[in-house]
Amino acid sequence: MSANTQRTREFTGRHMLTTILAFFGVVIA
């Protein structure tokens, strides 16, 4: 369960980073 949580956490982190970059990109544009 710990490994699964870590994997999900890493994936969520990357997805969140991409979402934030896209959000700021739209706001700046």
Q: Would you write out the chain's pLDDT as a tens digit for each of its 29 residues?
A: 566 677 777 777 788 999 999 999 999 98
Q: Is the pTM of this model over 0.85?
A: no
Distance CA 28, CA 8 (A): 30
Tell me what pLDDT residue 29 has: 82
11, amino acid identity:
F
Count of the separate structural domains present in the chain:
1
Tell me what pLDDT residue 1 has: 55
Residue-range definition of the domain harbouring residue 6: 1-29
